[in-house]
């Protein structure tokens, strides 16, 4: 064997190292952001790990309770680190209007394209559903027949005496007020804000607390501090699982969603698109309710038979439950009227 | 001399002057120079109401903590061991507990199914539980409890320095106990009173956690307005303007107090 000169040996060694390093650096990856906690843990098991395996990519996770300010500052800075964000649908829409979020090419997202029109927008696709529901304590309303079933019942202080609580925010609260005033769940939008606030003035003296956090709403119900509350279904079913004597109904609930969107100028755009398509795949979507009380966004998930029958009845987006609820229109809340209603809320609560 | 002071000066610059300057700048520069945020504060009544409520609650809490704190400080200053240590321990130990824990403790005590209501119910004094929390009352009670150490400690330190001989001298000259108290002890304790009042009042103005958790969502103090503007509306400029107005209010309070009470003499003693 001819002896190799030192420089040549050094060069080939360096080249070999480079070749070894390259595949690791070139492995596809994305950064995915959600809200953390039990919800993100459930997503990891149900959706993120299977998707990573199937697509052969690495998913780096991040979590923040409120992604919107960071979405804005990252894109404004010019070099976003996040790719895909799971955030309340309203923020995806606002992001689209303000140029912070990429427009989606649905030809590359067949799973998303097959979902109902109302569940997507040019910039986002719905990821999971949760509901704002009427929950009550069974101490005062022991059997379901005599318990409050509609928002009109919530407003009826004579027939259903008891202390009440609503969320200290107009989102979903205005919808409930309109339904209490007789508006049909599918005819809510655009919201008659004037009428909603008038109806809320009626119930205001009877509201014990305007809650500001999900945990607080659950605490109030659990402690018996209030007898009726509008709360998120996941919080109430967690209480029921712990044995608390509370119950809720999906009747006239407000179906809300979080959606996936891709930041403008995301570092791994192509991989992000592949991931989004996989994340709304019916089978992966069907996995989510097995680990947490939120409903899959893709209705085809219910056809996959992955979700056991008794579980289906508990989920907000199950067909029989979705039918009884009002689907929130984030388009309204992102509009000028929606923002005006938000601003009006503070002075409403104060007086 | 300046060199010796420079580490402290740097800290003050970095942690006080720069942030305050930054948010003052934010309040007038929002894309371009604008006084819109200040105009809105003086035009819309929700801000007036918030400021009014905040000052009112601050006044009530300050007076209540003075009335409760003065006897406690007096006892701690005048009693022998071990009583003075015991009293001070009772005041200071809760001080070292997190404010959040103390606020939640008040919730447990005052809520509808809470300890107070249950006790009153068992004693047969009430039929329906009283609404002691989720309103202004609960907020005020908890704030007095949380701010009491800030009243007691300055009072105590001033009272401790009042020579016991003076009180004895007054008594030996024929003064009744109440006369001696009003004419000798009370005037000498005034520096502590002023310090305590100012400290508690200013702290009240910025209080956030307690009205947020115990106010029922209705007791909207200024700090909550600032937080709503940031969280809900993402309007840093508006929030900064509110904070700037609050800062101006606090400075005005100090200025007014300074006019009627010679602060340096009073606080610096002799």
| Chain A nearest C-alpha distance from B264 (Å) | 40
Q: Judge: B45–A224 Cβ closer than 8 Å, yes or no.
A: no
Q: By CA distance, what is A334's nearest residue in B? A: B233
Mean pLDDT of the B39-50 span: 86
The predicted model gives B237-241 an average pLDDT of 85
* Cβ-defined contact of B220 to A209 (cutoff 8 Å): no
Q: Which one is predicted more confidently, B168 or A32?
A: A32
Nearest CA in chain A to B50: A350
Per-residue pLDDT at B173? 87
**Which residues in chain B touch residue A351, judged by CB atoms under 8 angstroms apart?**
49
Cα distances from B249 to residues A291, B43, B196, in angstroms, run 52, 17, 18
What is chain A's alpha carbon radius of gyration, rounded to the nearest angstrom?
A: 24
Over residues B57-96, the pLDDT tens digits come to: 999 999 999 999 999 999 999 888 899 999 999 998 988 8
Q: Please answer whether residues B112 and A225 qualify as being in contact, where contact means their C-beta atoms are separated by less than 8 angstroms.
A: yes
Pairing type for strands A124-137 and A120-121 reads: antiparallel
Task: Considering only the beta carbons, identify the residue of A168, A209, A350 that sits closest to B49.
Answer: A350
| pLDDT, chain B, mean | 87
Q: Which residues of B touch A66 (CB under 8 A)?
A: 231
Instruction: Identify whether A195 is preceded by a cis peptide bond (ω within 30 of 0).
Output: no
Mean per-residue pLDDT, B189-212: 90
A70 → chain B, closest CA residue? B234
Cα–Cα distance measured from residue A348 to residue A204, given in angstroms and rounded to the nearest whole number: 9
Assign 3-state DSSP to chain A and report helix, strand, coil percentages, each to 5.
50, 20, 30
CA distance B213 to chain A (A): 9
Rounded Cα distance, A171 and B48, in Å = 26
Digit-by-digit pLDDT tens for chain A (351 residues) are 445 556 655 555 555 555 444 444 457 899 999 988 778 888 999 999 999 999 999 999 998 877 888 888 889 888 899 999 999 898 899 889 889 999 999 999 999 998 998 889 999 999 999 999 999 999 889 888 889 999 999 999 999 998 999 999 898 999 999 999 999 999 999 999 999 999 999 999 999 999 988 888 898 999 899 999 999 888 888 889 889 999 999 999 999 999 999 999 999 999 999 999 999 999 999 999 888 888 899 989 988 888 888 888 889 988 889 889 999 998 898 888 888 898 888 889 887
Residues of chain B with pLDDT > 70: what percent?
A: 94
- The pLDDT of residue A25 is 46
* CB nearest to A225's CB, from B49, B111, B231: B111
Instruction: Write down all domains in chain A, each with its CATH number in brackets.
Output: 28-129+257-327 (3.40.190.10), 132-254+332-350 (3.40.190.10)
Interface of A with B in 286-325 (CB under 8 A): none
Q: The tokens of A339 are what?
A: 């923002």
Which token pair is A308? 């056991």
The shortest C-alpha distance from B154 to chain A (Å) reads 35
* A chain contacts of residue B111, beta-carbon cutoff 8 Å: 223, 225
A-chain CB neighbours of B134 within 8 Å are: 208-209, 225
Query: From the CA of B2, how many Å to the nearest CA of chain A?
Result: 40
Verdict on whether the full-model pTM lies above 0.90: no
* Strand partners of residue A136: A228, A247
Question: By the 8 A CB rule, do A180 and A154 touch?
Answer: yes
A163 touching chain B per CB within 8 A: yes
Asked if B48 reaches chain A (Cβ–Cβ under 8 Å), the answer is: no
Q: Which residues contact A2 (CB under 8 A, 6 or more apart)?
A: none
Partner B, chain A 182-241, Cβ-Cβ below 8 Å:
208-212, 223-225
In this prediction, what percent of chain B has a pLDDT beyond 90? 35
Conformation bin of residue A153: beta by default, left when phi > 0, alpha when psi is -120 to 50 = alpha
Measured between CA atoms, the residue of chain B closest to residue A223 is B113
What's the confidence (pLDDT) of residue A61?
94
Report the pLDDT value the prediction gives residue A23, as an integer from 0 to 100.
45
Yes or no: say if A63 and A36 are a contact pair by the CB < 8 Å rule.
yes
Which of the two residues, B181 and A85, has the higher pLDDT score?
Answer: A85
B223 in reach of chain A (CB within 8 A)? no
Kindly report the nearest CA distance between residue B111 and chain A, in angstroms: 7
The residue-averaged pLDDT of B40-63 equals: 90
pLDDT bucket at B232, cuts 50 / 70 / 90: low
pLDDT of amino acid A1? 44
Topology adopted by domain B34-267: MetI-like fold (1.10.3720)
């Amino acid at each position: 064997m001819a002896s190799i000169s030192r420089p040549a040996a050094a060069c080939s060694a360096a080249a070999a190292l480079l070749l070894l390093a390259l595949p690791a650096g070139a492995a596809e990856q994305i950064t995915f952001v959600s809200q953390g906690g039990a919800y993100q843990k459930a997503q990891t098991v149900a959706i993120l790990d299977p998707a990573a395996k199937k697509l052969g990519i690495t998913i780096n996770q991040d979590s923040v309770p409120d992604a919107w300010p960071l979405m804005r500052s990252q894109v404004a800075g010019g070099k976003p680190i996040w790719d895909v964000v799971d955030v309340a649908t309203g923020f995806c829409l606002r992001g689209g209007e303000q140029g912070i979020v990429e427009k989606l090419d649905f030809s590359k997202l067949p799973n998303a394209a097959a979902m109902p029109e109302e569940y997507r927008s040019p910039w986002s696709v719905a990821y999971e559903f949760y509901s704002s529901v009427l929950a009550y304590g069974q101490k005062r309303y022991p059997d379901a027949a005599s318990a409050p079933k509609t928002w009109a019942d919530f407003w009826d202080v004579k027939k259903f005496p008891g202390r009440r609580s609503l969320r200290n925010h107009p989102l979903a609260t205005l919808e409930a007020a309109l339904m209490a005033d007789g508006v049909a769940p599918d005819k809510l939008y655009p919201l008659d804000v004037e009428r909603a606030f008038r109806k809320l003035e009626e119930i205001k003296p009877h509201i014990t607390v305007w809650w500001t956090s999900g945990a607080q709403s659950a605490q109030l119900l659990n402690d018996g501090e209030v007898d009726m509350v509008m709360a998120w279904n996941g919080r109430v079913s967690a209480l029921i699982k712990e044995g608390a004597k509370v119950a809720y109904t999906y009747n006239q609930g407000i179906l809300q969603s979080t959606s996936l969107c891709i930041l403008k100028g995301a570092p791994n755009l192509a991989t992000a698109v592949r991931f989004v398509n996989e994340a709304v795949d019916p089978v992966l979507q069907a996995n989510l309710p097995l680990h947490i009380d939120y409903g899959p966004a893709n209705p085809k998930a219910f056809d996959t038979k992955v979700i056991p029958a008794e579980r289906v009845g508990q989920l907000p987006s199950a067909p029989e439950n979705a039918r009884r609820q009002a689907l929130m229109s984030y388009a309204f809340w992102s509009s000028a009227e929606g923002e005006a209603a938000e601003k009006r809320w503070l002075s409403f609560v104060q007086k | 001399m300046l060199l010796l002071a420079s580490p402290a000066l740097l800290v003050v610059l970095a942690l006080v002057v720069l942030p305050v300057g930054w948010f003052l700048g934010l309040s007038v520069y929002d894309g371009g120079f604008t006084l819109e945020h200040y105009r809105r504060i003086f035009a819309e009544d929700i801000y007036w109401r918030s400021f009014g409520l905040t000052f009112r609650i601050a006044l009530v809490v300050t007076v209540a903590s003075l009335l409760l704190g003065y006897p406690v400080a007096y006892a701690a200053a005048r009693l022998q061991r071990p009583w003075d240590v015991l009293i001070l321990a009772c005041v200071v130990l809760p001080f070292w507990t997190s404010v959040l824990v103390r606020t939640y403790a008040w919730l447990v005590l005052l809520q509808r199914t809470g300890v107070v209501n249950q006790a009153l119910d068992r004693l047969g004094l009430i039929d329906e539980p009283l609404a002691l929390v989720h309103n202004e009352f609960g907020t005020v009670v908890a704030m007095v409890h949380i701010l009491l150490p800030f009243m007691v400690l300055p009072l105590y330190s001033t009272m401790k320095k009042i020579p016991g001989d003076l009180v004895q001298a007054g008594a030996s000259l024929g003064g009744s106990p109440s006369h001696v108290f009003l004419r000798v002890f009370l005037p000498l304790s005034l520096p502590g009173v002023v310090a305590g009042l100012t400290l508690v009042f200013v702290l009240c103005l910025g209080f956030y956690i307690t009205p947020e958790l115990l106010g029922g969502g209705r007791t909207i103090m200024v700090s909550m307005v600032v937080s709503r503007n940031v969280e809900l509306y993402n309007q840093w400029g508006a929030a900064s303007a509110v904070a700037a107005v609050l800062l101006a209010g606090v400075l005005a309070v100090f200025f007014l107090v300074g006019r009627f009470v010679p602060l340096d003499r009073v606080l610096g003693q002799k």
